[in-house]
Structure 1
Amino acid sequence: MTFPPLREELRGIQPYGAPQLDVPVQLNVNENPYPPPADCVADIAAAVAEAATTLNRYPDREFTALREALAGYLSGDSTHPVAAEQVWAANGSNEVMLQLLQAFGGPGRCALSFAPTYSMYPEYARDAMTEWVVGRREEDFSLDAAAARELVLAHRPAVVLLPSPNNPTGTALPPEEVSMLCEAAGDGVVVVDEAYGEFRRPGVPSALDLLPRHRNLVVSRTMSKAFALAGARLGYLAAAPEICDAIRVVRLPYHLSAVTQATALAALRHAPALLARVADLRAERDATVDWLRAQGLVVADSDANFALFGTFADRRAVWQGLLDRGVLIRETGPDGWLRVSIGTPAEMNAFKDALVDVMKEQAA
């Protein structure tokens, strides 16, 4: 046996992670570029200080107050109220997803999604020893609803992962397609990953509206994006209480620290202020999409805080050219495409100037 005795299917695999480089303009990991406002920071600091006086004790493992606060927030984004017993949370939506795969996947079961999509999904399946099945999206990154339904019926997945808006394309799913796949999945769990849900365009509904209709539907969210709390690591979901109860079986003891719970609760008290920049970021996104198209590029319609654009014969050269000019974006998605997170107006101007220079250099 080779040391260390790593599982054979993990040998040679590089760990997931976007480049972390110290450059003036960082537009590669879909963060909110605006930090929390000062009064929110002060409230978080006070809440954490209070929590620190109890750190000799384990936190509330049911994070009751946080679940109630999250349910209140989600109820405001849904046509139906969400109850606290329908809410679960963990250390980022990554842990939420892994817990779902640990609870409902496993040997002899499969998880299914449609590429291009979030590159961590197959890793969750792998870590939970779950077979990974992947269908394909259309050229405009939408789903062929009939083909998607047939794939689900053919494989009977235990878990279907449907990001909406999708990462890295920004594409949102129509609710009727979500409903159709929930019905096709039978007793399989259908997870609509709404990590970027707050950035969706007006008139695009949340899958939260469908929860009363489908007992196998899970809607996941995060505080990392619109809430500008990427460093806090708090993800959560809404689902039938039976699904939340099932996740308890696989969660680690006291998995949400007292500090995390205090931070998230304080942030939720300031939700309107934290989300105040969402409209600005939507407008900047739409302006960026229009500008990229005016440069002759193809851009996917986006309901997220990023834009996928292309296509380039050598996208690596374009990515490197931008980096050489102090602008970091993401080399991800199908061949020839690049993704830019939406930053401040100054950051987006720097990106545009750098891209114009790089494209001129490439054309010379």
Structure 2
Amino acid sequence: MSATFPPLREELQGVEPYGAPQLSLEQVPVQLNVNENPYGPSPEAAADIARAVGEAAVRLNRYPDREFTALREGLAAYLNTSGGSGITPAMVWAANGSNEVMLQLLQAFGGPGRCALSFAPTYSMYPEYARDAMTEWVTGHRAEDFALDLDAARALVLERRPSVVLLPSPNNPTGTALPPEAVTVLCEAAASYEPGGLVVVDEAYGEFRRTGTPSALELLPRHRNLVVSRTMSKAFALAGARLGYLAADPAICDAIRVVRLPYHLSAVTQATALAALRHAPELLGRVEELRAERDRTVEWLRGRGHEVADSDANFVLFGRFADRHAVWQGLVDRGVLIRETGPDGWLRVSIGTPAEMAAFRDALTDVMEETG
């Protein structure tokens, strides 16, 4: 037997799999670490989902609609009420979470001899998508306030000529939203060389953006190389359903078909997502409440002397701590789980219910008094 069994790809050897700490509710009753919506589907929405899944269940001996036609129609209709206009089903693609959407984009448009680019700090899975698609990963850097330096960003795109530029807005883990001019500048830069590059604006947290913060969906008619991705995991409170999607030029959606696995969206997933879309106003009804709780959290943290990044998401990045792990552990010891992520010295807290946020505030106050 070979000493290196199993024969894993060399660049994967010794790599730890991605994942936030998972602790049981018995261990840590207040869990504010993975940006979930703390409010589950209403009984009415849950009943409709159960009915739709039940109807799909009697046909599970047959493969699902490979093109998920009805779901694309539903998602297009929703996007046209959520920042977009003129989005057709042919412009929509969906997969098992926005993670699979991103991986498919890198599989289709990345690959050996090509590179993907983003600006740190940003979502830690992006370089893993690139690695899995055998695509070189290039990292630029954000300014001190986590905004993009547009001149530097444009220069890096023109220098490296990436096939894919990944731009989360709001950014994870900082919560920073992109202004429309940033998207336009980078779309124009990525279209200026051959064969050009895609600019993917990841709006996983887009529904939580503050009033007056536009969606990149508005720019789709202007930039053929723009892709805007969304998810039903966050604002729709369907993290367990695993449904992500994008809007883009129909040619981009057609190209992704080349790399998708056969029947990649199950009949159960399609039925669940369609039922959820029927209840969109109800499922999204707590978004405004979560925005208000986020803003109160930002104000409270700043009032306690912490640095806090402006957030358009359902989480807040705050710091700076000489030993952030000690603060994180102190919170866990008091029954509150947040995320140790982002730049050194910073922590991220997801926005929960008022009771959960009160528990977070009490625990953080205790930890800071104890640690000084």
Q: Match for residue 135 of structure 1?
A: 140
Query: Equivalent of 2:98, from 93, 96, 100?
Result: 93
**Which residue of the other structure, out of 10, 14, 28, is the alignment partner of 1:8?**
10
Unaligned runs of 5+ in 2: none
What is the distance in 2 between the residues matched to 1:299 and 1:79?
Answer: 30
For residues 125-274 of structure 1, what are the structure 2 equivalents within 5 Å?
125-186=130-191, 187-274=196-283
Q: Which amino acid aligns with 2:11?
A: E
| Residues 173 and 341, structure 2, Cα contact 8 Å, conserved in 1 | yes
* SS of structure 1 residue aligned to 2:229: strand
Q: CA deviation at 1:79?
A: 4.8
Contact 2:94 2:101 in 1 (8 A): yes
Tell me the residue number matched to 1:104.
109
The question of whether the paired residues in 1 share the 8 Å contact of 2:338 and 2:348 is answered with yes
Equivalent in 119, 125, 148 of residue 120 of structure 1: 125
Could you tell me which residue of structure 1 aligns to residue 67 of structure 2? Answer: 62
Please report how far the alpha carbon of residue 78 of structure 1 lies from its aligned counterpart in structure 2 after TM superposition: 2.5
Alpha-carbon shift at residue 54 of structure 1 (Å): 0.5
Deviations 1:291-334 (A, max 9, x none): 00000000000000000000000000000000000000000000
Aligned partner of 1:19 among 18, 21, 36: 21
The residue type paired with residue 283 of structure 2 is L
* Superposed counterparts of 1:345-356, under 5 Å: 345-356=354-365
Q: Distance in 2 between matches of 1:164 and 1:156?
A: 21
TM-score scaled by length of structure 1: 0.99
Map of 1:295 onto structure 2: 304
Do structure 1's residue 307 and structure 2's residue 316 form an aligned pair? yes
- The aligned amino acid for 1:19 is P
Unpaired runs of 5+ in structure 1? none
Structure-2 separation of matches of 1:43 and 1:81: 29
Which of 41, 47, 53 lines up with 1:42 in the alignment?
47
Q: Secondary structure at the match of 2:199?
A: strand
- What SS does the aligned partner of 1:319 have? helix
Higher mean C-alpha deviation, range 114-123 or range 72-81:
72-81
**Could you report, residue by residue, the CA deviation over 1:322-360 in whole angstroms, capped at 9, with x for unpaired residues?**
000000000000000000000000000000000000000
Q: With structure 2 as the length reference, what TM-score do the two structures score?
A: 0.97
- The residue aligned with 2:57 is 52
Whole-angstrom distance in 2 between the partners of 1:7 and 1:218: 31
Separation of aligned partners in 1, 2:290 and 2:306: 21
Q: 2:157 is paired with a residue of what secondary structure? A: helix
SS at match of 2:283: helix
Q: Counterpart of 1:320 in 2: which secondary structure? A: helix
Cα deviation for residue 26 of structure 1 reads 0.1
CA RMSD in angstroms comes to: 0.5
Identity of counterpart residues, as a percentage? 81
Q: For the Cα contact (< 8 Å) 2:79–2:85, is it kept in 1?
A: no
The whole-number CA distance in structure 2 between the counterparts of 1:325 and 1:139 is 32
Equivalent position SS for 1:318: helix
Query: How many Å separate the matches in 1 of 2:339 and 2:214?
Result: 28
Secondary structure class of the residue paired with 2:118: strand
C-alpha distance in structure 1 between counterparts of 2:84 and 2:365, whole Å:
44
Provide the C-alpha distance between the structure 2 equivalents of 1:97 and 1:79, rounded to a whole number of angstroms: 20
Matched AA of 2:162: P
> Once structures 1 and 2 are overlaid, which stretch shifts more, 180-189 or 63-72?
180-189
